[in-house]
């Protein structure tokens, strides 16, 4: 599905603040209710627009530790991968996980209440799957965090 300039503007608004009414969004993009609504519906159907969520404040909820975990493994069989993937999906502390190209095989972003909670997570993970090398980078300060794509 192709996206035009108006769709782009709508997306920019929605990924900034989706809590406003159709009217407000329509005004912001210089159009009116019905066309905007039809475009949003189409983008939803096409899967361009995913779920609508609230972003909770991690600090205020006591999630004061955030780690980036760099993982090297020696095992590259399908079965190991399947188990590893399952473990990541099941653990709610894992906010983000990517398979990488190059030296390092995986990167995870893990949010926990404190350093001890990270250790609990870490011990649980390595008992479930064999990994060759793990490096944890501790975040001191979150300088920026957005889901808004640079459309």
Nearest to 42 by CA among 10, 77, 76, 86: 10
Q: Which two tokens stand for residue 76?
A: 């590259």
Closest contact distance (angstroms) between CB of 45 and DNA is: 11
Considering the complex, state which of residue 32 and residue 74 has its C-beta at the smaller distance from DNA.
32
User: Which partner in its own copies, DNA, none is near 32 (CB below 5 to 8 A by kind)?
Assistant: DNA
Name which of 72, 88, 69, 71 is nearest 139 in CA terms.
69
CB 7, min distance to its own copies, A:
10
Residue 29's binding partner out of DNA, its own copies, none, with CB under 5 to 8 Å set by partner kind: none
Dihedral in degrees, nearest 10, Cα atoms 31, 33, 38, 40: 80
Helix axes 22-29, 5-16, angle to 10 degrees: 130
Enumerate binding residues for DNA (CB under 7 A): 6, 20-23, 31-35, 37-38, 41
Specify the residue for token string 């300039």.
Answer: 5
16 binding partner (options DNA, its own copies, none; Cβ < 5 to 8 Å by kind): its own copies
* Whether 6 contacts 39, CB under 8 Å: yes
Which of 78, 91, 77 has the alpha carbon at shortest distance from 128?
A: 91
Of the pair 9, 111, the CB lying nearest DNA is at 9
> With CB cut-offs between 5 and 8 Å by kind, which of DNA, its own copies, none does residue 28 bind?
none
Residues making contact with its own copies (CB under 8 A): 1, 3, 11, 14-19, 46-58, 60-61, 63, 66, 68, 85, 88-89, 92-102, 104, 106-107, 111-112, 137-151
Choose among its own copies, DNA, none what residue 63 binds, the Cβ cut-off being 5 to 8 Å by kind: its own copies
* Tokens representing residue 97 in the block: 């996980």
């Amino acid at each position: 599905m192709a996206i035009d300039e108006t769709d782009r503007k709508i997306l920019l608004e929605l990924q900034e603040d989706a809590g406003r009414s159709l009217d407000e969004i329509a005004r912001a993009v210089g159009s009116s209710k019905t066309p905007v609504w039809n475009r949003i519906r189409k983008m939803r159907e096409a899967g361009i627009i995913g779920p609508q969520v609230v972003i909770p404040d991690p600090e205020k909820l006591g999630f004061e530790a955030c780690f980036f975990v760099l993982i090297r493994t020696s095992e590259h069989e399908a079965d190991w991968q399947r188990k590893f993937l399952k473990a990541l999906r099941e653990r709610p502390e894992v906010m983000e996980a990517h398979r990488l190209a190059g030296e390092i095989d995986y990167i995870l972003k893990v949010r926990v209440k404190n350093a001890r909670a990270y250790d609990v997570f870490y011990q649980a993970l390595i008992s479930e799957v064999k990994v060759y090398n793990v490096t944890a980078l501790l975040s001191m300060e979150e300088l920026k965090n957005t889901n808004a794509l640079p459309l």
